[in-house]
Chain A
């Protein structure tokens, strides 16, 4: 009978039907953490679900800090972060946590200067732009590094991320290494007090501001810049070359660091490297897997890491503009993950 009362109970009936149809299908493994790798993780987990039908791995990007807190509270099975956990945070989790690097990312400096197709910047210059001490595009310092470009007399509008993020953390981590002044005046972290400019939310926000304001410059994830064809600057690395961000130059930043990674439980910052051809503002992103997991969930995670860090998984990453791990590193990581204690 179609009356109001029956209509109101309809949603409940529909949903209970839907839920009972799916209940008990397989094990659900939940993870939370960084937004930066969300696209590649969602692709990996979706593809992996058809490879291994016994387990569904559900990942949601609520931020690196959020992921770490959920891991501490025990509401998720694994976490993900763009910045290694501090000793304090690691101490709060019941079991030791393994940092598993999965892919590499980079922070690109995107700009909107009419008539300028390519731009070279040193780390010191980038720091001064974002501190507000270099105020115009035709500042002598910028002109000196870009003899071929016609830099206009236009005010610089620095654009930063208003939401705390791993991208800001990596960017400021690089800037404090590149400029003593920046270290003193601003410092590094997932959220900092920027002296100048406007804040926009997320990569989309920053890109939107840059697109609409001639003279604007900001920092975005490389994946975002590459997928949306944004104009990005080439940054000078420690060898003196001006390197444009690309999956190749980002992977280069990780080569030669494998021994260091092994010594430090895979937790190493790779900004401002000395390798030739390396892009200076690169970083790893990690999965945080507790050292002790249940047999069912643990073996699923181990199998997943083996698959993701193997050829298929890493190729998927490269196709989406994420830089793959150096092969020697990937093998070491998989070997370490296989030693997880399963109860």
Chain B
């Protein structure tokens, strides 16, 4: 039986390793200093990079997280700590439904909600779409890990006279912060890699981003444009972009973990 677990792990990891190796092999040659500092060059000209798209992605994901992370965590806390209330049951079901909405449909929704009334594409609209994508992931993960905290911990806190909200926030949530962080990282990773919802909300921009109320470039959209083009040089830039995107998420993940361990979060396994 234990061998099956080994086999399962291998089957999970091997295709992922293959995809990553493919991106690495195809993209690494095109990653250069120019990539991180230049906007795209005209076709046929060497140099040029995806610096504007990188900044755009950081902006969009950053803005989306400002709303998506707190709202998602609060929602998860509610679903776990007040689980049997009618509101919680309906919300849990709704959150499940929200996870399967295609990202392009979310983009179209935000388009009708924000882009048309504002008469233009903007980073705000793009961030709104990404926030909606992030919410269910953060909410559900938070709920699941909080539910696994044994009740005796809560009871101990209450017995000491600590108010309920402090028990929840400072003991239960804080103790599971590592696991909640995983949910946040997964949501950030997902948001950073989505192109379909951004096309109708943040649009894109081959120049430097000129403001939060203006079309904003992003790595996934740029990767998509290059990947489906006829030109080999653009294909290479697409893979380089994918490599950079994955690396940025990796760095974000690593830094978050390091900073968390510095502030005293200890993980057993």
A39 vs B42: C-alpha distance when bound (angstroms): 9
Interface centre among A32, A38, A74 (most CB of B within 10 A): A32
Residue of B with least CB distance to A49: B207
Any B CB within 8 A of the CB of A307? no
- Whether the Cβ atoms of B200 and A62 lie closer than 8 Å is yes
Contact at B263–A203, with CB atoms within 8 Å? no
For chain A residues 1-33, which have a beta carbon within 8 Å of chain B?
A: 2-4, 7, 11-12, 14-15, 18-19, 22-23, 25, 28, 30, 32
Contact yes or no, B230 A203, CB < 8 A: yes
**Among A223-231, A291-299, A328-336, which stretch is in contact with chain B?**
A223-231
Q: In the bound complex, how far is the Cα of B122 from the Cα of A74, in angstroms?
A: 14
Once the chains are docked, how many angstroms separate the CA of A146 from the CA of B10? Answer: 52
Give the A-B pair count, Cβ closer than 8 A.
Answer: 114
Which of B116, B210, B231, B259 has a CB less than 8 Å from the CB of A39? B231
In Å, the complex CA distance between A30 and B230 comes to 24
Q: Does A209 have its Cβ within 8 Å of any Cβ on chain B?
A: no
Q: What is the distance, in angstroms, from B35's C-beta to the closest C-beta of chain A? A: 16
Cβ of B91 under 8 Å from chain A: no
B55 interfacial by beta-carbon distance below 8 Å: yes
Residue of A nearest to B51 (CB): A18
Is there an interface contact between A42 and B44, defined as CB atoms closer than 8 Å? no
In the bound complex, do residue B259 and residue A15 qualify as a contact, i.e. CB atoms below 8 Å apart?
A: no
Question: Please, what's the 1-or-0 string for B181-210, where 1 marks a CB less than 8 Å from any CB in chain A?
Answer: 000000000000000000110011111111
Contact A43 B207 (CB under 8 A): no
Q: Which of A7, A14, A43, A58 contacts B44 (CB 8 A)?
A: A43
Whole-angstrom CA separation of A73 from B115 in the bound complex: 9
The answer for the CA separation of A11 and B188 in the assembled complex, in Å, is: 13
Instruction: Name B239-268 residues within 8 Å CB distance of A.
Output: 255-256, 259-260, 262-263
Q: Does B139 make an interface contact (CB < 8 A)?
A: no
> Looking at the complex, which one of A42, A49, A62, A221 makes contact with B43 (CB distance below 8 Å)?
A42
A59 CA to B217 CA, complexed, in Å: 11
Is the pair B206, A12 in contact by a Cβ cutoff of 8 Å? no
Chain A's closest residue to B66 (CB) is A12
Q: Which of B41, B207, B259 contacts A3 (CB 8 A)?
A: B259
Asked if B113 is at the interface of the complex by the 8 Å CB criterion, the answer is: no
A47 within 8 Å of B (CB atoms): yes
Kindly state whether residue A46 has any CB partner on chain B within 8 Å.
Answer: yes
Interface of A is mostly: helix
B230 to chain A, nearest CB (A): 4
Q: Are B230 and A15 closer than 8 Å at their CB atoms?
A: no
B40 touches A61 (CB 8 A): no
Determine the distance from Cα of A11 to Cα of B259 in the docked complex, in whole angstroms: 16
Of the 9-residue stretches B20-28, B57-65, B77-85, which lies at the interface with chain A?
B57-65
Question: Which chain B residues in 82-122 approach chain A with CB under 8 Å?
Answer: 115-116, 119-121
In the complex the two chains form, is A45's CB within 8 Å of B206's CB? yes
Q: Given known contacts A11-B58, A46-B41, A204-B227, is B259 in contact with A2 (CB within 8 Å)?
A: yes
Chain B residues lying within 8 Å of A46, measured Cβ to Cβ, are 40-42, 206
Residues of chain B in range 37-59 having any CB-CB distance to chain A below 8 Å? 40-44, 55, 58-59
Number of chain A interface residues as a range: 35 or more
CB within 8 Å of B: which A32-74 residues: 32, 35, 38-39, 42-43, 45-47, 49, 56, 58-62, 66, 73-74
From residue 199 to 225 of chain B, which have CB atoms closer than 8 A to chain A?
199-200, 203-212, 214-215, 225
Neighbouring B residues of A223 by C-beta, 8 Å:
230
B205 touches A58 (CB 8 A): yes
Is B16 in contact with chain A by the CB < 8 A criterion?
no
Picked from A19, A47, A75, A202, the residue with its CB within 8 Å of the CB of B210 is A19
Question: A320 at the A/B interface (Cβ < 8 Å)?
Answer: yes
Chain A's nearest CB lies how many Å from the CB of B69?
A: 9
How many Å lie between the Cα of A46 and that of B232 in the bound state? 19
Q: Which residues of B contact A7 (CB under 8 A)?
A: 255-256, 259
**Min C-beta distance of A231 to chain B, whole Å:** 15
In the bound complex, CA of A23 to CA of B231 (Å): 32
A46 to B262, CA, bound (A): 46
| Chain A residues closer than 8 Å to B119, beta-carbon distance | 73-75
Q: Which residue numbers of B lie inside 8 Å of A, CB to CB?
A: 40-44, 55, 58-59, 61-63, 66, 115-116, 119-121, 199-200, 203-212, 214-215, 225, 227-232, 255-256, 259-260, 262-263
Given A30-B121, A66-B200, 20 other A-B contacts at CB below 8 A? A3-B262, A3-B263, A4-B259, A11-B62, A15-B55, A15-B59, A15-B62, A28-B215, A30-B203, A39-B43, A39-B229, A39-B231, A42-B43, A42-B206, A46-B41, A46-B42, A58-B204, A60-B204, A203-B228, A204-B230
Can you give 11 contacting A-B residue pairs, CB < 8 Å?
A: A3-B259, A3-B262, A4-B260, A11-B58, A25-B210, A38-B225, A42-B206, A73-B115, A74-B119, A203-B228, A223-B230
What 10 A-B pairs are tightest by C-beta distance, nearest first? A11-B62, A15-B59, A46-B42, A224-B230, A227-B230, A22-B208, A43-B42, A43-B43, A202-B228, A4-B259
